[in-house]
Amino acid sequence: MERVPVLVVGGGYAGLSAATLLAWREVPVMLVERHPSTSVQPKAFGIGPRALELLRPVQGIEDELRDIWAGIGDGMRIAIARDMADPEPHLITDGGQAERAFLAALTPVAMVGAPQADIERVLRVKAEELGADLRFSTELVSLEQDADGVTALIRGKDGDRLVRADYVVAADGHHSPLRTALGVPTSGRGELSRMCSIMFDADLSDLVREREVTLWYLRNDDLTGALVTGAGAGAHVLGVHDAGAGAHVLGVHDAEGPLPVDRCAELVRLATGRPDLDVRILDRATFGIAHVLADTYRSGRVFLAGDAAHTMPPTGGQGGSTALQDGADLAWRLWLVLTGQAAPAFLDTYDAERRPIGTLTADAQLAELGARMPPAARIGYPEPLPDLLHTLLGHRYHSTAILSEPGDDGSILEDPRLAGGRPGSRAPHVVLDWDGQRISTIDLFGSGFVLMAAKQGRQAWMEAGRVVKERLGVALTRLPVDDELLDVEGCFEERYGVSGGGAVLVRPDGYVAWRSPGAVQDPAGTLEQVLRQILRR
């Protein structure tokens, strides 16, 4: 029987991010994926800045993804139109100028519009370089839990094997056999429609501006769907939700397998408004668009992530980023427990924090589906939720791993410009100078807890951090601002809400766990009590 601390089931966004960040933290991990490789189709495009903040501590990932994006385009337009030949499309965004301006003041990380296939490939290579054991063409057959761990039967090209793991990450997709086997109940609207996804090559130079990726939401009498043009390497992707009065003739709703090549070509010509377009079909698939929410993200020693936890319509583009964040979030929590820094009960905070965010994001994308792609909206939809830009960096967490302050309203979404360093909020971006190099506070997070102290009380807090780090054996970095780190804009104390000798404790995921707005009589005793409470020790 093989032995591994963490077994990851599924090689998509959630599984690969978990495996990569576990391996980066030197936690042995095995990943099994039933498909022979990562995605072939581009699938989703882009990941948000929050997901990239979590991935960027792994050297090379951010640079490689930016190189891919730079080779494809300079920005993404989103438009609603009859077809690509529509002379008056309705622009939702025009190249992301407003989004970039909004984000520039909040994070050193920008959105990256690379296709999912490329992002998965980068993560796979990086995970293997770091020592993760990735096994493709391998499926999970069965799983049994007991008080001490999990025993899994996996089946690959070389036959069946038993694997013993401490914990399992169930990142096995929308239908999630693991979720079903564990009896985890679900809610949500279920499957909404079938989608035919077609990757094709065609000369669209008369319809698409050079070096620009455009997402078209198409509405006409013949079809309702979405088309991404300029996807790189001459490829474009069309997703058809509804083929109007001819739906059954076109076979979109009833097809379980891919549509015939000639029918795919016909759909492409309808979408582009070019009936004589020369089309080469590169790949095709049919799958469901769904809104399915797991009622819990934990079942014993198994944790649901990605589509297994929250399947959502693609409208809004945050499904992939949410899955990446799930995997990254599990990685640091499992690392703390497996290394003895946190008690096993600490893992309950994953469900407490991530499930409300998964539900919020799925509901927002459901609302966007109804707004952007009628008549695909065949059922009632919730009202549109707050601004998408707020959801990129404005999530708030509430759990025993966050020591909230009096007056906390319990909200799970805020304007990130107004977060002010509150516990449960993402730690604000502040420009610092470190030995002549300009960095962001965001660059300081990822490898462990970070204790940052305001100028007036830095000596007392730094000594407290040293004592508590040794006493508890916790990965804790002590950083006095305006000493080793110079506050370039003079705004650290204001943005983090600490002054007069205060300090702030930031978790490995870059979220504020606790802060002391001012000085305390016993910094070491206070900090130890805080960490013991957070880590359930």
The residues annotated as belonging to the active site are 217
Distance CA 113, CA 401 (A): 33
Residue type, 268: V
Q: 74, 68 in Cβ contact below 8 A? A: no
Cα angle 434-438-441, degrees, rounded to a multiple of 5:
75
Torsion of CA 71, 206, 213, 40, to 10 degrees: -70
Of 208, 196, 160, the C-alpha closest to 287 is 196
Provide Rg for the chain, Cα atoms.
24
Residue type, 55: L
- Our measurement of the distance from residue 317's CA atom to the centroid of its chain's CA atoms, rounded to an integer in Å, reads 11
Q: CA dist 295 to 28, 177, 456, 516, Å?
A: 29, 16, 47, 35
Distance CA 18, CA 350 (A): 13
Contacts (Cβ under 8 Å, ≥6 apart) of 205: none
Q: 462, 480 in Cβ contact below 8 A? A: yes
Of 443, 444, 450, 441, the C-alpha closest to 504 is 450
Distance CA 260, CA 284 (A): 9
Of 269, 240, 266, the C-alpha closest to 253 is 240
Q: Is the dihedral of CA 90, 94, 96, 99 positive or negative?
A: negative
DSSP 170-190: E---SS-HHHHHHT--EEEEE
Distance CA 91, CA 217 (A): 10
Q: Which residue stretches of 116-190 are H helix?
A: 116-129, 177-182
Contacts (Cβ under 8 Å, ≥6 apart) of 83: 216, 218, 220, 270, 271, 272, 273
Give buried/exposed letters for 24-63 (b at 16+ CB in 10 A, else e).
bbebebbbbbbeeebbebbbbbbbbbbbbbbbbbbeebbe
Distance CA 450, CA 39 (A): 36
